[in-house]
Amino acid sequence: MNTLQNRAPLVPETFPGIFWCPDLISTRDLGPQGVEAVLHLAELMKSRPSVFQRALAGKQMVMFFEKPSLRTRLTFEAGITGLGGTAMFVDQSKSPLDARESLSDIAHNLERWIDVIVLRTFAHATIEEMARHASIPVINALSDLEHPCQALADYFTLKERFGDLRKICLAYVGDGNNMAHSLLLTAACLGSSIRVATPKGYEPNAQIVADAKKIAKQTGAHIELLNDPHAAVAGVDAVYTDAWASMGEENEAESRAKIFPPYQVNRELMAQAAPQAAFMHCLPAHRGQEVTDEVMDSDNSVVFEQAENRLHVQKAILYLLLGGAVRLPVRSAHA
């Protein structure tokens, strides 16, 4: 049994020179090369799924979810099944993951039975602690701080629509929450441009912003933090929003409903973006609050493309973390 200290980063032979992380807790674990690797592999998996049908044969995944889920649970289950592996689900919505026994004890049990742990939790520290103790990969499927798998799927969707991500700008308007954090970090890794507009007092986490700006210095990404949603949206290629009150913040829903209406994505706000700007949302959407039906159901809405791409991105993440058995063609330098 490998100990935590003996764990070596996985270097996929199909992506020579790319440093791969043992866990996906934060987009920061991937870095620019890791993010590019996930998007490239997701593209291959989406276009040629039959090639990968047995890539993770015999691998087993367990999911512990403290929060309800539609897209996250089903795309992870369908993803590993489509790669030949199996999934198990443990509903933790009635109690925290560590209510019955310590995370350390849970981790040391799981590492002897299965191959990868997927966690959807309230506290980000829960995922970090599980990763510290488990000698198998741990994946953040959502925490109060980050939602890395969703943001990767979002930028994969933008790549499909626009091509070169360095030439586009995404505006996020609303709460500076876990979704905003992961979008900032992913944009930074890809050398893309992002504007985040929030009400005063609801800005993104300062450490996340500092880390994103540090990565941006290496990649050439452009990051702007604003309070004016109209200035954020002006001329952008995509407009993104999320719930005004995230899961666990229901007690703030009433007070936030009085603060956030200027950040609603409606026809008037979308009209200030580029003519063919995409509308994006991680779902579930609260129609009539952060977004209107008119925008949500418009031809420019890509919300269901985002949801579909969760499947392909998460398959790529599982493959890379678990060392899939299929050897892929290396992308040409001229591609």
- Output the 3-class SS for 58-100: CCEEEEEECCCCCHHHHHHHHHHHHCCCEEEEEECCCCCCCCC
242 is catalytic: yes
- Interatomic CA distance for residues 150 and 147, integer angstroms: 6
* Ordered domains of the chain (ranges, CATH): 4-146+309-322 (3.40.50.1370), 148-307 (3.40.50.1370)
147 is catalytic: yes
Considering the candidates 147, 256, 281, 312, report the single residue annotated as catalytic.
147
Q: How many CB atoms lie within 10 A of CB 280?
A: 26
Residue with tokens 């889920």: 69
132 is catalytic: no
Considering the candidates 149, 169, 189, 282, report the single residue annotated as catalytic.
282
150 is catalytic: yes
Instruction: Name residue 50's amino acid.
Output: S
Predicted confidence at residue 16, as pLDDT, reads 39
Considering the candidates 92, 242, 281, 306, report the single residue annotated as catalytic.
242
- Interatomic CA distance for residues 319 and 200, integer angstroms: 41
Low-confidence residues of the chain: pLDDT under 70 = 1-20, 247-249, 325-335
Degrees, nearest 5: CA angle 58-60-63: 165
Tokens encoding 146: 């980050």
In Å, how far are 37, 97, 171, 256 from 15, measured between CA atoms?
A: 7, 35, 31, 45
Closest CA to 229 of 257, 191, 268: 268
- Interatomic CA distance for residues 280 and 238, integer angstroms: 7
Considering the candidates 28, 40, 73, 120, report the single residue annotated as catalytic.
120
Considering the candidates 21, 23, 124, 150, report the single residue annotated as catalytic.
150
108 is catalytic: no
User: In a 3-state reduction of DSSP, which class is residue 145?
Assistant: coil
- Interatomic CA distance for residues 184 and 245, integer angstroms: 19
pTM of the prediction? Answer: 0.91
In Å, how far are 98, 206, 328 from 43, measured between CA atoms?
A: 37, 33, 12
Strand 169-173 to 86-91 pairing: unpaired
CB burial class (10 A; 0-12, 13-18, 19+) of residue 75? buried
Instruction: Name residue 26's amino acid.
Output: S
- Interatomic CA distance for residues 256 and 310, integer angstroms: 29
Strand 138-140 to 169-173 pairing: unpaired
Residue 113 bridge partners (DSSP): none
Residue 284 bridge partners (DSSP): none
If you ran DSSP here, which 8-state letter would residue 291 be given?
Answer: B
Closest CA to 185 of 136, 139, 218, 162: 218
Q: How big is the chain by its Cα radius of gyration, in Å?
A: 19
In Å, how far are 51, 171, 182, 318 from 54, measured between CA atoms?
A: 8, 39, 31, 13
